[in-house]
Amino acid sequence: MTAPLLSSLAAPGGDRPDALTVGGRALSREDLLGAAGAVAARVAGAPVVAVRATATAETVTAVVGALLAGVPVVPVPPDSGPAERDHILRDSAATLLLTGDTGVEAPIETVPVDLTERAAWTKPEPDPESTALILYTSGTTGAPKGALISRRAVAADLDGLAEAWAWTPDDTLVHGLPLFHVHGLVLGVLGALRTGSRLVHTGKPTPAAYAAAGGSLYFGVPTVWNRVVQDPESARALSAARLLVSGSAPLPAPVFRDLEQLTGQRPVERYGMTESLITISTRAGGERRPGSVGTPITGVRTRIVAEEGAEIGELQLTGPTLFDGYLGRSEATAGSYTEDGWFRTGDIAAVDPDGFHRIVGRASTDMIKSGGYRIGAGEVENALLDHPAVHEAAVVGAPHDDLGQQIVAYVVADGVGEQDLIDFVATQLSVHKRPRKVRFLDALPRNAMGKPQKKLLPPA
């Protein structure tokens, strides 16, 4: 049976003055509980509250306080423009915006978070089935949708990851990820609070900040890890860590290998999305392969639905970490499930004979059908990234009169020509997987988590 979400907040070591350090501000767990209790007293009874999710101790306090009070939390990216912010506030029906900053203008009442305030909160934990978080998707297919995440789902996910990563109160978790996503907020804050581990949020995830933090467990996205390996001195400082975890986008194989060479250990990769939280991961004590995200965590089952004869297909899953639907969008919720109740991730994957999962990409942009072949864009991207002159790569399928789709590669590279890269891929993969066109860019368009935004690429 899963323990209540906040059951470990007062874990042993709670009086340690630096149990949590966020943006340079250190708090003990006792400090956090006291300040969060004051927030809980102020927001209790509200239907929904929003939190301006800066990388600060005030954000952590606001989220914990609302969760103590049983009020659903809507994290709002601090860099969101007025249109995006107002859509999130209006769509979620939030009545209060909690913030640690002064002078924030918003269309709803703002509530300042003061870390010096204290109040005891003694009410029991809310129903595990109640909503903990309303997390807004990236909006790549329209206006962002609010995914309803229950307290039960968060607790089950964090327990599954603690088991997979041997995550204990003895760990010090270090990361510098945004606090409005699953990775930075759910795993990177609530995970530390639930397991009882110490947390150091570095503010910005720079190699130097990671090296100086002295952690045993590190979280990063591929962009972070790529910057780390570009700073060998900082990378070598992480050799004392127990686990380096990468997620939110596929980790390029060259970065995987460089991390191993510089730190002495292979990174752990995992897979998840807003609607499902983190469902698949390699294990702390198991094999770690480049390009693989491992096997499902406890309680999660997966299946691949592929066309006859195809090795890759849509990844579908079921388990206790799934969301409860999109807020106010019953049609979109229904469309995200199969008739027999499995969640459709929209991601294309393959499963090796030993059960290890490989994510090829999104069905909408990364499944390329060319000349009768089904090709995963991710495989071609990794092949390109193996070329020493290529720094970034994104592959798409573009309409073609004869092939149906032709493979087009967008790369950031130095001193290499189009035909050189086409020929290189043809020597690494099957010839039919080579790009037909290569376009050179100064940089790939990316979102806040470092994921390439293929819909923003220039026309092929």
User: Does one domain contain both 183 and 43?
Assistant: yes
Q: What is the mean pLDDT of the chain?
A: 91
How far is residue 119 from each of residues 51, 114, 385, 448, 454, measured CA to CA in Å? 20, 12, 53, 35, 48
CATH number at residue 292: 3.40.50.12780
User: Does one domain contain both 224 and 138?
Assistant: yes
End-to-end CA distance of the chain: 52
User: Does one domain contain both 337 and 433?
Assistant: no
Token code pair at residue 363: 């069905």
User: Which domain-ending residue is among 304, 333, 363?
Assistant: 363
User: Does one domain contain both 341 and 389?
Assistant: no
Portion of the chain with pLDDT greater than 90, in percent: 73
DSSP run (H or E) holding 74 = strand 73-76
User: Does one domain contain both 253 and 290?
Assistant: yes
Portion of the chain with pLDDT greater than 70, in percent: 96
Range(s) of the domain holding residue 449 = 371-456
User: Does one domain contain both 34 and 91?
Assistant: yes
Reported confidence tier of residue 16, pLDDT bands at 50, 70, 90: confident
User: Does one domain contain both 308 and 392?
Assistant: no
Residue type present at position 405 = Q
C-alpha span between 336 and 301 (Å, rounded): 16
Mind listing the pLDDT tens digit for each residue in 362-404? 776 777 878 767 787 887 888 899 899 999 999 998 888 778 7
User: Does one domain contain both 203 and 324?
Assistant: yes
Residue type present at position 296 = P
Identify the pLDDT of residue 241.
Answer: 97
Region of poorest pLDDT, from 34-43, 139-148, 208-217, 331-340:
139-148
Mind listing the pLDDT tens digit for each residue in 105-116? 889 999 999 999
Mind listing the pLDDT tens digit for each residue in 429-441? 878 889 999 999 9
Number of domains in the chain: 2
Q: What is the DSSP letter of 266?
A: P
Identify the pLDDT of residue 104.
Answer: 85
What torsion do the CA atoms of 219, 223, 227, 229 make, to the nearest 10 degrees?
A: 70
CB count within 10 Å of CB 276 equals 25
Mind listing the pLDDT tens digit for each residue in 242-278? 999 999 878 888 899 999 999 999 999 999 999 999 9
C-alpha span between 99 and 204 (Å, rounded): 19
C-alpha span between 69 and 451 (Å, rounded): 34
User: Does one domain contain both 347 and 430?
Assistant: no
Q: Look-up: residue for tokens 């290189």?
A: 424
Mind listing the pLDDT tens digit for each residue in 220-231? 988 899 899 999
For 140-190, what is the HEC assignment? CCCCCCEEEEEHHHHHHHHHHHHHHHCCCCCCEEEECCCCCCHHHHHHHHH
Identify the pLDDT of residue 199.
Answer: 97
How far is residue 42 from each of residues 38, 66, 89, 114, 233, measured CA to CA in Å? 6, 9, 19, 12, 47
Mind listing the pLDDT tens digit for each residue in 166-206? 999 999 999 999 999 899 999 999 999 999 999 999 999 99
Identify the pLDDT of residue 11.
Answer: 57
Identify the pLDDT of residue 455.
Answer: 84
User: Does one domain contain both 230 and 379?
Assistant: no
pLDDT for residue 129 is more than 60: yes
User: Which domain-ending residue is among 320, 343, 363?
Assistant: 363
Where does 367-417 have alpha helices with state H? 377-385
User: Does one domain contain both 342 and 401?
Assistant: no
pLDDT for residue 139 is more than 80: no
pLDDT for residue 140 is more than 60: no
Q: Which residues pair with 98 in a beta bridge?
A: 51, 111
Mind listing the pLDDT tens digit for each residue in 40-89? 999 999 999 999 999 999 999 999 999 999 999 999 988 887 888 898 99
Query: pTM value?
Result: 0.84
C-alpha span between 226 and 255 (Å, rounded): 6
Mind listing the pLDDT tens digit for each residue in 156-170? 999 999 999 999 999
Token code pair at residue 53: 């999710």
Q: Looking at residues 328-356, what average pLDDT do you find?
A: 94
Reported confidence tier of residue 208, pLDDT bands at 50, 70, 90: very high
User: Which domain-ending residue is among 305, 336, 363?
Assistant: 363
User: Does one domain contain both 429 and 357?
Assistant: no
How far is residue 384 from each of residues 16, 398, 436, 460, measured CA to CA in Å? 48, 18, 13, 17
CATH number at residue 411: 3.30.300.30
